[in-house]
Amino acid sequence: TSAQIGVTGLAVMGRNLARNFARNGYTVAVHNRTPSRTRELLAEFGDEGEFIGAESAAEFVAALERPRRLVIMVKAGDPTDAVIEEFAPLLEDGDVIIDGGNAHFADTRRRERDLRERGIHFVGTGISGGEEGALHGPSIMPGGSAESYESLGPMLAKISAKAADGAPCVTHVGPDGSGHFVKMVHNGIEYADMQLIAEAYQLLRDVGGRSPAEIAEVFRTWNTGRLDSYLIEITAEVLSHVDPATGEPFVDVVADQAEQKGTGRWTVQLALELGVPVSGIAEAVFARSLSGHTALREASRGLAGPTARPLSGAAADAFADQVEQALYASKIVSYTQGFHEIAAGSAEYGWNIDLGAIAGIWRGGCIIRAAFLDRIRAAYDARPDLPSLLSDETFAAEIADAQQDWREVLGAATGQGVPTPGFAAALAYYDSLRADRLPAALTQGQRDYFGAHTYRRTDREGTFHTRWAGDRSEVQM
Ligand code: NDP
């Protein structure tokens, strides 16, 4: 017998993905640089389905039916190139290499181009959901050629998560690196979601006067409403956990320095290059970075500021409702920014990405899965050329309803010295977009003054410059 799919790289992700394929009835060839991992998989999980263990690259390739489909799940970066170089010479025209690692989309574009010239399809694929997702159903974001998706799509649909309506959480995102690009932005949005939730927690604690266990209950309640999502759910779990060693709330014994692996940073770097204002995602990346500057924070502890005055009783309950409004409104803004970046990447690289379909495949399996994504999907499906999520009537109406509370929460936060960079960036973005006039006019005036950078006028076509150093008359350029 031959295998319909192969997986090389059998650490947590690859092993679970291989098991997922096997549990769904596929014969799976498995391979790992260090063969002991392959043997372990077969020994521990071999009875879950049909596996073919391969100890060498040649054996692995020989085990695959044609066109061969082999999934690479190794450490992203140079190891991916090394593995491609090991297997590509053994492959034939029309075979498909799927890279499920967290590659940078620019690397995926390069690899796809190289392999296409050698007659091999290269499918850079975003996979979200961590190790549990890989085993039980991840959200899958494949790029690459439409042709490769014809044979691959049905297999990916089978192993993917299913949304509440039963739709598989996979779609052909678009050509070359589009899948990894979309996965990158997914992670950027994930950073923003986590930051906003963290700020809501801090506000409920410092201004709302609640304990971590009480805040867990607030999040549990929120999770039954429009904020229903995986991240809110696990937030409640983390906040209600008590450290067994000390009996203290777990969140109080964890060092307050957030780490990152880089996909959030990539999202912001790309946004800067594409000129897309993803201020909420950027603040989330910076907030993690700031938290890690321990010496700087230590040196700043004595700086002046107000002391928070915790509320109680009905006032605390009312405040919690306001924080829910602020969190929801800020969340709409982060998704607005993230989808803007996907649209901009799609335009820049000619990917023709269907934004509604992306929202659709994030409804299940991935870290940002949420009831809310169904609404984003509906908004784009109804109007694929929607200029921004904020221009969708339903979202606009919800923000209209939330905005007063959003402002009051930020008033309390700044008044009492609780840092809320995510909430604040989101509101500034919202107010900037809806502003009749922006002070950018003054910025242009300054640029023209010191650098003769010229300006356009509101009342006439053309490019103008004022002779600032001379008689201040205006010249048309
Ligand atoms: P790791 O990222 O820890 O990578 C370990 C695997 O890579 C092992 O199989 C290892 O083989 C192999 N490897 C490393 N270097 C080489 C090399 N030069 N040649 C051949 N094989 C090599 O594994 P994970 O399972 O955590 O992740 C796999 C991929 O999935 C990564 O790209 C990761 O970013 C991505 N990912 C991970 C998620 C997660 O939650 N962990 C979620 C989504 C994506 P050996 O056993 O021989 O050392």
Atom of ligand 1 nearest to the CA of 33: 47
| pLDDT tens digits, one per residue of 243-264 | 999 999 999 999 999 999 999 9
Quick one: pLDDT at residue 435? 98
32 in a labelled binding site:
yes
Q: Record the tokens describing residue 437, joined without a space.
A: 């006039």
Q: Is the CB of 262 under 6 A from ligand 1?
A: no
pLDDT greater than 90 at residue 55: yes
162 in a labelled binding site:
no
Q: Is the CB of 10 under 6 A from ligand 1?
A: yes
pLDDT band at 69 (very low <50, low <70, confident <90, very high): very high
| pLDDT tens digits, one per residue of 136-194 | 999 999 999 999 999 999 999 999 999 999 999 999 999 999 999 999 999 999 999 99
74 in a labelled binding site:
yes
| pLDDT tens digits, one per residue of 264-287 | 999 999 999 999 999 999 999 999
Q: Is the CB of 238 under 6 A from ligand 1?
A: no
Q: Is the CB of 127 under 6 A from ligand 1?
A: yes
- Residue closest by Cα to atom 40 of ligand 1: 130
Residues belonging to the chain: 477
Q: Is the CB of 32 under 6 A from ligand 1?
A: yes
| pLDDT tens digits, one per residue of 349-383 | 999 999 999 999 999 999 999 999 999 999 999 99
Among 12, 37, 75, 261, name the best residue to mutate to test ligand 1's pocket (greatest count of ligand atoms within 8 A of Cβ).
75
Atom of ligand 1 nearest to the CA of 15: 25
Active-site residue, selected from the candidate residues 190, 199, 324, 341? 190
| pLDDT tens digits, one per residue of 87-104 | 999 999 999 999 999 999
Q: Using the mean position of ligand 1's atoms as its centre, give its distance from the Cα of residue 72 in Å.
A: 9
Quick one: pLDDT at residue 427? 98
Mean pLDDT score of the chain, rounded to an integer? 97
| pLDDT tens digits, one per residue of 388-428 | 999 999 999 999 999 999 999 999 999 999 999 999 999 99
Atom of ligand 1 nearest to the CA of 14: 25
Provide, rounded to the nearest whole percent, the portion of the chain with pLDDT above 70: 100
Quick one: pLDDT at residue 6? 98
Q: Has 158 been annotated as catalytic?
A: no
Q: Is the CB of 271 under 6 A from ligand 1?
A: no
Q: Is the CB of 11 under 6 A from ligand 1?
A: yes
Sequence-distant (6+) residues with CB within 8 A of 244 are none
453 in a labelled binding site:
yes
ipTM over 0.95: yes
Q: Using the mean position of ligand 1's atoms as its centre, give its distance from the Cα of residue 328 in Å.
A: 35
Three-state SS annotation for the chain:
CCECEEEECCCHHHHHHHHHHHHCCCCEEEECCCHHHHHHHHHHHHHHCCEEECCCHHHHHHCECCCCEEEECCCCCHHHHHHHHHHHHHCCCCCEEEECCCCCHHHHHHHHHHHHHCCCEEEEEEEECHHHHHHHCCEEEECCCHHHHHHHHHHHHHHCCECCCCCECECCCCCCCHHHHHHHHHHHHHHHHHHHHHHHHHHHHHCCCCCHHHHHHHHHHHCCCCCCEHHHHHHHHHHHCECCCCCCEHHHHCCCCCCCCCHHHHHHHHHHHHCCCCHHHHHHHHHHHHHCCHHHHHHHCCCCCCCCCCCCHHHHHHHHHHHHHHHHHHHHHHHHHHHHHHHHHHHHHCCCCCHHHHHHHCCCCCCCCECHHHHHHHHHHHCCCCCCHHHCHHHHHHHHHHHHHHHHHHHHHHHHCCCCHHHHHHHHHHHHHHCCCCCHHHHHHHHHHHHCCCECCCCCCCCEEECCCCCCCEEEC
pLDDT greater than 80 at residue 1: no
102 in a labelled binding site:
yes
Q: What backbone torsions phi and psi does residue 294 show, to the nearest 5 degrees?
A: -65, -40
Q: Is the CB of 18 under 6 A from ligand 1?
A: no
Per-residue pLDDT averaged across 220-249, rounded?
98
Provide, rounded to the nearest whole percent, the portion of the chain with pLDDT above 90: 99
Q: Using the mean position of ligand 1's atoms as its centre, give its distance from the Cα of residue 14 in Å.
A: 8
Q: Using the mean position of ligand 1's atoms as its centre, give its distance from the Cα of residue 74 in Å.
A: 3
The CA radius of gyration of the chain, in Å to the nearest whole number, is 25
Q: Has 348 been annotated as catalytic?
A: no
| pLDDT tens digits, one per residue of 462-474 | 999 999 999 999 9
Quick one: pLDDT at residue 185? 98
